[in-house]
Each structure stands twice: as structure tokens, then as C-alpha cells.
Structure 1
Amino acid sequence: MSLDRVRIGFLPLVDAALPILAREKGFGEAEGLEIELVRDFTWATVRDRLIYGHSDAAHLIAPLAIATTLGLDRPAVPLSVPFVLGLNGNAITLAPALAEAVAPKAGLGDPWEVGRLLAEEVRRRREGGRRIRLGVVHRYSSHNFMLRYWLAASGIRPDEDVEIVTISPAFAGDALAAGEVDGICVGEPWNSAAVDRGIGQIVLVTAQIWRRGVEKVLALRSDRAEADPDLVQRLVRALHAAAADFVEPHSLEPNAAILAQADYLDASPTLILRAISDRILLTRGTEPLHIPDFMFQYREAANFPWVSQAAWLYSQMLRWDRLPFSAAASAKAQKVFRPDLYRAALAGRGAPLPGASSKLEGAIAGETGVGSTQGRLLMGADHFFDRRTFDPERIEDYLVDLQ
């Protein structure tokens, strides 16, 4: 059988797992696809390779797909997101001296308490003539937005009280070791690598900031998605099959070994296994801690591209870029996420399909049955740490409330 080749750009991160597993475990081939993976080291390069046609699709930070569509940091190119590659999976890792001042002696801290202590340390260091500097992977990343959300709620003004800089994920630990930054907010395995080197301590995970925070996505140029819907549907099905495999206990060790290969993450299979099994080492010399839903996948329609997730990301762009609300731009941002393509790919395949395309984010307190057009769908708690909710139809009111 002749296979259709699909080139997918990615960064060496654990949440690139699904396209890697779709290639290595035959899920792509089962859909008539020959998946070719192209590794890069910066999100800008992954994005540029996609928009200039050097790749067909990309493992991409969700906000960057929206920013690219809106033309916020370059001429606009419309992108489409038919599939979410995973939720959560990031952490905030601080240099040991700073972590000692703000984090508990054992276990993860409470976001409010860590934030309170960090605000005190920020004030002390500013009085001494130096701002704390924190590294994120891109200006338009969930890492940046969740870090800022937590800092602001803790009484710390991003860009004024602290400095936030951009670092490639693979080099974030080196920047921490060199003292160029005091902390990093990155994806795995790079937090765990910093812990293993003794140069950092994980003090919070981003799942504590937004329990079901959207993270990486599959992105395509919109013109390509419209021109070849059959290819998009087959790719979505291959990734969905990989997601089902990802959560199987018997697949954990084999999958960690695959991801660790030199062509992919080129990292320790032990660190990768910890991440995909939700067992995270916070400090060198301690035992890994089980953090439920650290890297959330497959269950609860985790791969469904909720339009309300795109709306929340857009609200954070307005907040931190200090942009005025635009109904037209808001609509364009929300149309980047394509639940219609997801549904078309999985209709008749047994996967639970949400009946709605948007929801009140942060409003689910515990396991709740939600309407679906196919299958039975239960959703778990999705709260923000400050217990705010986000209504995608009231973005302006939401931003006013945050002031």
C-alpha cells in the first residue's frame, strides 16, 4: 500500500509523544500515512518551518498558533488546530537558594503560599538592586501565560517586579546553572533534568495553576487543512490512537524508551518515564512524588480543541501585550481551534465527542457528565488556582475583573 507522507515539526519534549508514537508504533501507517518527524530547538523555527511549507504540520505551543494567525509578532498566516496534543505537563523550577526561601521542605507547595513567599523575596531582592529573572520558552506560550497569571494573583507584577526572558527549552537548565535566570517554567524532561543536575528544585507544576490547562497542539496552515481534509482526518485518528496507547500502563516503559532515542528527545528514559507516569522528582536526593494528572492525556476528551481554551489564551495576549479588545480579532482567535475537524475525524469511531464546542473554563468542581454527540463523557475538575472562571463570551468583563 502506498503511504502519504506527512512531515511534522517538533521540539524535543515529552509532550511531542503522540506524533512520535504514531510513527514508531504504526498508528500513522494504519491510516495510510508515512510520518516524517523534523526536530528543531526553538518554537520560532518550528513555526517558520510550518508557515513556509517545509513541514505539513507541527507540534506547537497553543498560543503561538493563535498569535501567528493574528499577526502579533510577524505577518499573519492563518493556522488551524484540529487536535490538542495534551494538557498540563509543565513545571516551575527555581534555583536552589530561591527555592529554599519560598518552597516547603517536602512536597509541592500551595500556589498561594509559594506566591506569598516569592513576593517577599522579590521585594527584598529589588531593594538590593536586582530583579529576579525567570525564563519561559516563548512570549506566546502557555508557560508564559500561566506563570504570569500566578505571579499577578500573588501580587507580583510581571515585567516590573520581575523580569521574564525567553529561553529554548533544551537550554533552560544551562541558563539556570549559569545564573542567567533564577527560575524556569518549561516542559518535561527539562525540569527533571535540572533537578537531577542539582541546579534546580520544582516548586509548582502548572496543573496547580490551571487544572486542565491547554498546552501543545497539532497545527497546520489553514489553507492546507481546507485543501486536504482527508489527510487531516487520518492524522487526527493516528494521533488519537497514539493517545489511547499513551495512557496504557503496559506502554509506559516501552514508550519512554522510544521517546528517549537520539532522534527524538535524546534524554534519559528514567526522566521520561517519571513524566509520563506522573511521578516527578522535585529535589535531588528525594523520592519521586506522584502528582495526579501532571501530564493529562486522552481521558475526558483531553485532545478535543475547545474553542473556549483558545479564547482564554487570547484574553491573556490582550492582558500582557496591553492590547484593546477586538470582537473581530477574538472571533479569529477562537476559530483557530477546530472542533469540527476533530469531530469529522472521529465520528463513528466510538470516541466520546463533546456536544458543545465551548464551555465555561474553570467551572467544573468534580467529575461531571457533559453532553456528547457520541459516547459517554465525564469531565473532571478544571479549576484555576484562584477559583476564577472564564466565560469566553465575556472576555472584556473578565479582563476588567483581573485588574
Structure 2
Amino acid sequence: MSGKHQIAAGFLPLLDSALLAAAHEQGFAEAEGIELRLVRENSWASIRDRLAVGHFDAAHMLAPMPIACNLGLTPLATEMIAPMALGLGGNAVTVSVALWSAMRDNGALDDLDPLRNGKALGSVISARKRGGGRLLRFGVVHPHSGHNYELRYWLAACGVDPEREIEIVILPPPLMPDALIAGRIDGYCVGEPWNTAAVSKGAGRIVTVKAAIWRSSPEKVLGVAKAWADRNPEALTALLRALYRAAEWCGSSENLGDLARILASTHYIDCPQEWLMPALIGAVEVGPSQVVAVPDFFVPHAKAATFPWTSHALWFYSQMVRWEQVDANIANEGIARNTYRPDLYRAALRDVDVALPGANAKVEGALNEPTPVGSSGPSLTLGPDGFFDGAVFDPDQVSAYLSGQRKR
């Protein structure tokens, strides 16, 4: 039976496409009257462009990408909104076995500590510079990606200039393990399972994770063309409800085996199921037979994981300014803030018994431990959150934050 709403959505073969996959496979979309057609793509540029020209109504999208589109940083730019996040965490930094050996000689350990391992990488980079060696090359998935900004943030906070002391190149996520094996790159930042894939093939070591660099931070969002959302408010509401129910399902430990089976299938990621389980259960295999517990590696539902915080949008904007992708001004700050749409999220879920945060923004780095916060509906616990170097981001003080970032 055809649904009341026909929605086409694009996605990339990544663990954090889980909510879309579960909404389709577990019947949450159908229950909301949606006939959901999911289309797998191979690059974020294709996702962006197909959404812009109307091939997709919505998409699994890099969290900074709708902001970049609205700031005019992309070709075929169309106004986009992000009415929902698709979870917290989910990516990691992987390096070649040879680079890991050099990092270990300079103090790196298998504990995923971003400061220690970042300093060790910095020592390797300094030694190569003194010896006249080539720059290390790291892959990220897109210039306007959390991967790019978090990799740069991590390196800069550890004393490495990511503009001058390494080379950063763009690659689609599924190609990164093979690029590492071929020696075309020395490391990369990507979502799962493409870090575990390199470890499984004996080609890489995971050295740190997003959940350690910026705790409780967004990775992907639901990207929607604003014109489509304006024309189809009922369909958008139905989709947000379906994805929220999917997030609840994905967040239940009893469903993780089924979720891994769904995502491993040929329609979605097309990979061995065992590549997906480490991230889902929070036991990351950093190297052969070496497992580190990261319980918040990927969070699909807890901690308001699907809420589109405007403070997240503004931090991404701050990094676009920091790395000279866009000018700092009140107009651009407003565009970034207004791209994320907690008002639409609240409207879609207000009649459902869910925990809704009492505010649309929060100070990133204010919570050092799990903390009950004000909410409507059921109780809500947030945190811990924040950055590994102890920095705090106040969304009401963006200019001051930018001044501090420029000094780093």
C-alpha cells in the first residue's frame, strides 16, 4: 500500500545512517504514513547536489553541510534546514601501521587519549620536518564536515598547524581503508565502519575518537531543502516522528544485533556484520586484539541525541571562520544559527511523550558528568560534554571564542 507521504532520502554507507535504515526496515516510517525510498550514494557532494536539484526530499547529511550551503560555500547551493540530528559521535581517527609505530615511539598509547596521542603525532611531524620528509597526508570526507573541523581542532590543540604541517585531502568514506593500504594517505578521520575496516585488514590503528575530542557532539543531521519543508509540513512532521521512534529502537541494547544485520546488508553498508558491532556496543578494537571501552562512541537516542542544538551549529560556524572558509559577521552567524531548526523538532514531537530540552542552545563544555536538566515531558540527562583541551564554547559569546581560537 502506498503511503500518504512519498519521501526520497539519500544516505551514505555509514553506521550513522542507522536511523533512516531502521525507520524503513522496522516499520516506523510506514506507521507514520510514509513510503520511504532510501537511495545509497557514494559521496557527500552527490548527496548535497541531488538534494539541491530535487532528486531527494531529505538526506543523511554532514552536520555542517546545511550551514555551508546556506552561507553560499557550495555549488548548486539551495537553502537547507536541519530539523533533527541523527545521533552523537560515530567517527574516529585512524593512521597507518607505520605511522602508529612512529607515534608509539614518541609516547602514544592504545587508550585513545587525544592529548597524549596528538602530542605524539606532533613529535613525529616535527621530526619529519627536521629531516626534510614529505608532509603526512590525512583524508577527510568533505571540506565542510565535522571530520575536517575536528581533525583540525585536535591537531591545533596539540601544537600541529593543520594548514602547513600536514596535507588534508578529500575522499569518500568507503575508499579510505584502501587508500591507506595503497599508501596514498597516512591517516584519516571517518565514520564507522571504515576505521574498523582498516584495523580488520591489518592496515591501520585507531588513535582517537570523536567522542574523546568533543564529547556529546553531533555527526550527521537530517538535511532538508527548506522549500520542500515549507511545501510539505505534514510530511516533515511525520518523518521526524518516524526517525525519533527509530532512534529509540536503535538506542536499545537488545536491538543492536538486528541493527548490525540490517546495516551490513547489501542495500546499506554492504560489509561484514562484525565491522559494525564494536561501535554499536562501545568496545572499539583499536588494533589486533586490543579493545578499548568507549560507551558513548555512537549515541543514537540518549542525551537528546536527535535534538538540533543551535550551539552545535554555531560551533561549526566558528570553525568555518577559523579556517577562513567564511567571514565572521553578524549576518553569517545568524544564518548558521537559523539553519538548525529546534522549533520544527519541538512541533513534530510536542504531542508525543518524549523529553524535550528546555532551551535551544547550551554551553558546550559546561557539563563534566551526566547531569539532569530542565525539560518538558520525561526527565532528561545531558553530558558529559565538551572538548578534550578544556575549552568552553558559549553560543552567546561567539566573537570572544573566535578571538581565542585565532590565538591557538
Same fold (TM over 0.5): yes
Give the aligned residue type for 2:141: V
Match in the other structure for 1:196 = 200
Assess if the C-alpha contact under 8 Å between 2:281 and 2:295 holds in 1: no
* Matching residue within 119, 122, 126 for 1:116: 119
Match in the other structure for 2:369 = 366
Match in the other structure for 1:345 = 348
Match in the other structure for 1:73 = 74
Match in the other structure for 1:58 = 59
Deviates more, 1:93-102 or 1:187-196: 93-102
1:144-293 correspondence to structure 2 within 5 Å: 144-284=148-288, 286-293=289-296
**For residues 324 and 349 of structure 1, do their structure 2 counterparts lie closer, same or farther at Cα, with a shift above 3 Å needed?**
same
Offset of 1:34 from its aligned partner?
1.0
What's the CA shift string for 1:229-265, capped at 9, x where partnerless? 1111110111111111112122111111111111110
Give the aligned residue type for 1:311: L
Q: In structure 2, what is the Cα distance between the partners aligned to 1:242 and 1:110?
A: 32
Give the aligned residue type for 2:73: L
Match in the other structure for 1:21 = 22
The runs of 4+ residues in structure 1 deviating greater than 6 Å are: none
Assess if the C-alpha contact under 8 Å between 1:192 and 1:271 holds in 2: yes
Give the aligned residue type for 2:173: P
Q: In structure 1, what is the Cα distance between the partners aligned to 2:117 and 2:190?
A: 18
Q: Aligned pairs, how many?
A: 402
Assess if the C-alpha contact under 8 Å between 1:308 and 1:358 holds in 2: yes
Offset of 1:362 from its aligned partner?
1.3
Give the aligned residue type for 2:38: L
Give the aligned residue type for 2:206: I
Offset of 1:350 from its aligned partner?
0.9
What's the CA shift string for 1:123-159, capped at 9, x where partnerless? 1112323111111000000001000001001110012
* Matching residue within 310, 313, 323 for 1:310: 313
Match in the other structure for 2:102 = 101
Match in the other structure for 1:295 = 298
Assess if the C-alpha contact under 8 Å between 2:108 and 2:120 holds in 1: no
Q: In structure 2, what is the Cα distance between the partners aligned to 1:184 and 1:340?
A: 35
Is 1:393 paired with 2:400?
no
CA RMSD in angstroms comes to: 1.3
Offset of 1:56 from its aligned partner?
0.7
What's the CA shift string for 1:3-45, capped at 9, x where partnerless? 0211110000010011011001100000000111111100000
Assess if the C-alpha contact under 8 Å between 2:52 and 2:76 holds in 1: no
Q: In structure 2, what is the Cα distance between the partners aligned to 1:263 and 1:2?
A: 21
SS in 2 for 1:34: strand
* Matching residue within 131, 139, 145 for 1:141: 145
Offset of 1:375 from its aligned partner?
2.3
Give the aligned residue type for 1:388: A
Assess if the C-alpha contact under 8 Å between 1:354 and 1:374 holds in 2: no
Q: In structure 1, what is the Cα distance between the partners aligned to 2:327 and 2:403?
A: 12
Assess if the C-alpha contact under 8 Å between 1:361 and 1:382 holds in 2: yes
Give the aligned residue type for 1:22: A
SS in 2 for 1:321: coil
Assess if the C-alpha contact under 8 Å between 2:108 and 2:117 holds in 1: no
Is 1:356 paired with 2:359?
yes
**For residues 105 and 283 of structure 1, do their structure 2 counterparts lie closer, same or farther at Cα, with a shift above 3 Å needed?**
farther
Give the aligned residue type for 1:139: P
Deviates more, 1:154-163 or 1:315-324: 315-324
Aligned-pair identity in percent equals 45
What's the CA shift string for 1:172-223, capped at 9, x where partnerless? 0111111111101000000000000011000101111000111100010011
Give the aligned residue type for 1:112: L
Give the aligned residue type for 1:170: P
Q: In structure 1, what is the Cα distance between the partners aligned to 2:96 and 2:267?
A: 30
Q: In structure 2, what is the Cα distance between the partners aligned to 1:166 and 1:74?
A: 16
Offset of 1:390 from its aligned partner?
0.5
Q: In structure 2, what is the Cα distance between the partners aligned to 1:52 and 1:279?
A: 40
* Matching residue within 379, 382, 404 for 1:379: 382
Give the aligned residue type for 1:36: R
1:83-102 correspondence to structure 2 within 5 Å: 83-102=84-103
Deviates more, 1:10-19 or 1:275-284: 275-284
Give the aligned residue type for 1:334: R
SS in 2 for 1:300: coil
**For residues 374 and 71 of structure 1, do their structure 2 counterparts lie closer, same or farther at Cα, with a shift above 3 Å needed?**
same
**For residues 105 and 386 of structure 1, do their structure 2 counterparts lie closer, same or farther at Cα, with a shift above 3 Å needed?**
closer
Offset of 1:108 from its aligned partner?
2.1
Offset of 1:323 from its aligned partner?
3.7
Q: What residue ranges of structure 2 are gaps of 5+ in the alignment? A: none
Offset of 1:112 from its aligned partner?
1.4
Offset of 1:378 from its aligned partner?
1.4
Deviates more, 1:46-55 or 1:313-322: 313-322
Match in the other structure for 1:31 = 32
Give the aligned residue type for 2:386: H
Offset of 1:321 from its aligned partner?
2.0
Offset of 1:345 from its aligned partner?
0.9
SS in 2 for 1:7: strand
